[in-house]
């Protein structure tokens, strides 16, 4: 692949994955403040809350959405804690650091993808076809939308390069590391290659421990295939990768099992896999072509790289339906082997104009889900979706909370407001996230009852029992039925929000 052409392709991808964010910012107007997130704002705000902990100087993660976190914390989510330290060092807003990291990670993924494709597809005329399909494609979820269904290719960002680059920084960075660890290292001296593999594996285990598990499975599969094909096995790279990421992965596993708070969080962290029909739609047409190719062409199983792609596809398809609470994590990067294998088989079956027509027949339908996704983002922007925007009054109230309350203050607010407060103020809340709030369902139900049904005496009893220091009442609280009450002491007020100081 020519570097100049690759640079142009990356520029196009940067525009596609960032222009909606710029539009959202420009569309804020005088009455709204853009959150910085266009997809999955719930998790996006949780990443920002982790960055806030780093900005405060911490290298230990604590559950930001749990009121009573007595845990000493641990070295989890170090990537986002690191970004928080970067924000403090550079004196930049955390959301700008977040998107800067997302952009850089996207560039890294596209460069790694080009390197991976060059290693796995020798034919130059197929490499660009594979790049564009893998970098911009998705499933047939747009067809499911016409039938009133919402499939995984709209929201399982870690499975698709485009959606990963559009969503957050750690998914594309993890995918880039996986691809680079799967590329032969003949162009680098062996000693340097082993050190690079060790460092990349460590970074991958920090970013996504499941990504490290996937890489080790694939490397073990490659070693087995090389042995069967009488090809020398590079055990050095296998061991360097295992040593590099193994310690961190085991530490994180031990931590979440030994710390009661983190164990409770992990039990709630359920990421189940989609039903089979959803899975097939979300990875078609490339998965269908790949399956047909491996069924039709027996020789594909005899070549190490193509057999490895088949192992990735088959192994992950089995693992995502194992009875574990993190099934969906095995879909990490799943679109990549499907797209690369599909192009390999198209190249075997056709050439010239026939190949071009076949590629377009696959690529164009694969683009449409992402185009629908971008259109949905623009719709949310135009309507100032309350999951994407704060009102100006909410933003000003949160600025006051950040500037004028103790760092360990506990604020009671509606469940949706609780999503924002730890990310924008660093303050604790009763509820704000279905995984990172311990006993999340009960806490959410309690808050909804607090604002909609409880009288003043019930509220005061709860506020004192939970040692709440500030009561926040804004538009989201009023939507649940909350009313302002002059029996509380007003600490801050604007046209939309009142923050009460709770005397103990």
Based on the fold, state whether residues 260 and 398 are members of the same structural domain: no
When the pLDDT of each residue in the chain is averaged and rounded to a whole number, the result is 94
In terms of residue numbers, what domain contains 55?
A: 3-63+72-382
Based on the fold, state whether residues 373 and 430 are members of the same structural domain: no
Rounded distance between C-alpha atoms, residue 502 and residue 504, angstroms: 6
pLDDT tens for 11-69 read 999 999 999 999 999 999 889 999 999 999 999 999 999 999 999 999 999 999 999 87
pLDDT tens for 418-475 read 999 999 999 999 999 999 999 999 999 999 999 999 999 999 999 999 999 999 999 9
Based on the fold, state whether residues 363 and 456 are members of the same structural domain: no
Rounded distance between C-alpha atoms, residue 438 and residue 67, angstroms: 9
pLDDT of 504 > 80? The answer is no
Domain boundary among 382, 405, 427: 382
Based on the fold, state whether residues 399 and 287 are members of the same structural domain: no
Q: Which residues are CB-contacts of 442 (< 8 A; sequence separation ≥ 6)?
A: none
Based on the fold, state whether residues 348 and 426 are members of the same structural domain: no
Rounded distance between C-alpha atoms, residue 479 and residue 214, angstroms: 44
Based on the fold, state whether residues 432 and 324 are members of the same structural domain: no
- Structure confidence at residue 189 as a pLDDT band (50, 70, 90): confident
Given this model, what pLDDT does residue 186 score? 64
Share of the chain above pLDDT 90, in %: 86
Q: Is 128 in contact with 355 (CB distance < 8 Å)?
A: no
Q: Is 416 in contact with 476 (CB distance < 8 Å)?
A: yes
- Structure confidence at residue 324 as a pLDDT band (50, 70, 90): confident
Residue 457: burial class (beta carbons within 10 Å; 0-12, 13-18, 19+): exposed
pLDDT tens for 196-238 read 999 999 999 999 999 999 999 999 999 999 998 888 898 999 9
Based on the fold, state whether residues 349 and 415 are members of the same structural domain: no
Based on the fold, state whether residues 414 and 493 are members of the same structural domain: yes
Q: Is 73 in contact with 66 (CB distance < 8 Å)?
A: no
Q: How far is CA 394 from the centre of its chain?
A: 26
pLDDT tens for 55-112 read 999 999 999 999 987 678 899 999 999 999 999 999 999 999 999 999 999 999 999 9
- Structure confidence at residue 270 as a pLDDT band (50, 70, 90): confident
Based on the fold, state whether residues 252 and 285 are members of the same structural domain: yes
Q: Is 242 in contact with 216 (CB distance < 8 Å)?
A: yes
Which of 153, 317, 439 lies closest to 447, judged by CA?
439
Given this model, what pLDDT does residue 264 score? 87
* Domain count within the chain: 2
Domain boundary among 365, 382, 399: 382
Based on the fold, state whether residues 164 and 288 are members of the same structural domain: yes
Does 285 sit behind a cis peptide bond, omega within 30 degrees of 0 on the bond before it? yes
Given this model, what pLDDT does residue 271 score? 80
- Phi, psi dihedral angles at 220 (to 5 degrees): -65, -40
Rounded distance between C-alpha atoms, residue 267 and residue 255, angstroms: 13
Rounded distance between C-alpha atoms, residue 186 and residue 180, angstroms: 12
Rounded distance between C-alpha atoms, residue 175 and residue 112, angstroms: 9
Pairing of β 428-429 and β 470-473: unpaired
What is the maximum span of the chain, computed from C-alpha positions, in angstroms? 81
pLDDT of 363 > 90? The answer is yes
Based on the fold, state whether residues 364 and 395 are members of the same structural domain: no
Q: Is 79 in contact with 207 (CB distance < 8 Å)?
A: yes
Given this model, what pLDDT does residue 65 score? 95
- Phi, psi dihedral angles at 237 (to 5 degrees): -65, -40
Q: How far is CA 441 from the centre of its chain?
A: 23
pLDDT of 265 > 90? The answer is no
Of residues 205 and 267, the one with the higher pLDDT is: 205
Domain boundary among 324, 348, 382: 382
Rounded distance between C-alpha atoms, residue 355 and residue 334, angstroms: 24
> How many other CB atoms sit within 10 Å of the CB of residue 187?
8
Rounded distance between C-alpha atoms, residue 413 and residue 446, angstroms: 11
Q: What's the sign of the alpha-carbon dihedral 273, 274, 275, 277?
A: negative
pLDDT tens for 124-149 read 889 999 999 999 999 999 999 999 99
Rounded distance between C-alpha atoms, residue 132 and residue 110, angstroms: 10
Residue 223: burial class (beta carbons within 10 Å; 0-12, 13-18, 19+): middle
pLDDT tens for 156-175 read 999 999 999 999 999 999 99
Q: Is 370 in contact with 147 (CB distance < 8 Å)?
A: no
Based on the fold, state whether residues 356 and 428 are members of the same structural domain: no
């Amino acid at each position: 692949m020519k570097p100049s052409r690759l640079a142009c392709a990356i520029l196009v991808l940067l525009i596609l994955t960032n222009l909606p964010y710029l539009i959202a910012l420009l569309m804020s107007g005088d009455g709204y403040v853009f959150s910085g997130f266009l997809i999955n704002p719930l998790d996006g705000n949780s990443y920002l809350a982790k960055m806030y902990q780093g900005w405060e100087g911490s290298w230990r993660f604590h559950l930001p959405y749990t009121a009573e976190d007595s845990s000493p914390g641990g070295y989890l989510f170090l990537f986002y804690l690191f970004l928080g330290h970067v924000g403090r060092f550079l004196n930049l807003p955390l959301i700008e650091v977040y998107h800067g990291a997302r952009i850089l990670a996207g560039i890294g993924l596209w460069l790694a993808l080009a390197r991976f494709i060059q290693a796995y597809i020798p034919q130059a005329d197929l490499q660009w076809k594979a790049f564009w399909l893998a970098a911009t494609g998705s499933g047939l979820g747009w067809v499911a939308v016409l039938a009133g269904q919402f499939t995984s290719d709209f929201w399982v960002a870690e499975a698709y390069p485009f959606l990963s680059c559009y969503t957050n920084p750690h998914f594309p960075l993890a995918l880039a590391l996986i691809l680079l660890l799967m590329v032969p290292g003949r162009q680098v001296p062996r000693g340097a290659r082993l050190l690079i593999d060790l460092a990349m594996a460590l970074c991958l285990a920090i970013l996504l421990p499941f990504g490290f598990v996937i890489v080790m499975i694939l490397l073990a599969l490659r070693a087995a295939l090389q042995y069967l094909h009488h090809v020398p096995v590079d055990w050095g790279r296998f061991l360097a990768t295992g040593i590099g990421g193994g310690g961190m992965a085991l530490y994180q596993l031990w931590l979440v099992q030994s710390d009661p708070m983190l164990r409770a969080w992990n039990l709630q962290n359920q990421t189940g896999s989609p039903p089979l029909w959803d899975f097939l739609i979300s990875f078609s047409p490339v998965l269908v072509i790949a399956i047909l190719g491996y069924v039709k062409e027996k020789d594909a199983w005899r070549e190490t790289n193509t057999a490895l792609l088949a192992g990735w596809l088959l192994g992950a398809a089995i693992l995502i339906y194992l009875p574990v609470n993190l099934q969906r994590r095995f879909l990490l990067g799943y679109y990549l082997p499907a797209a690369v294998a599909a192009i390999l088989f198209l190249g075997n079956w056709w050439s010239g104009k026939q190949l071009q027509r076949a590629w377009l027949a696959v690529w164009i339908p694969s683009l449409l889900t992402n185009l629908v996704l971008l259109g949905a983002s623009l719709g949310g922007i135009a309507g100032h979706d309350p999951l994407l925007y704060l009102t100006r009054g909410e933003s000003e109230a949160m600025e006051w909370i950040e500037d004028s309350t103790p760092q360990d203050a506990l604020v009671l607010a509606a469940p949706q407001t609780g999503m924002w407060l730890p990310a924008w103020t660093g303050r604790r809340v009763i509820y704000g996230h279905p995984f990172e709030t311990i006993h999340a369902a009960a806490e959410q139900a309690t808050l909804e009852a607090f604002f909609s049904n409880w009288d003043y005496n019930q509220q005061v009893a709860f506020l004192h029992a939970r040692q709440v220091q500030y009561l926040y009442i804004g538009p989201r609280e009023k939507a649940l039925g909350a009313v302002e009450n002059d029996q509380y002491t007003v600490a801050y007020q604007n046209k939309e929000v009142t923050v009460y100081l709770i005397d103990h």
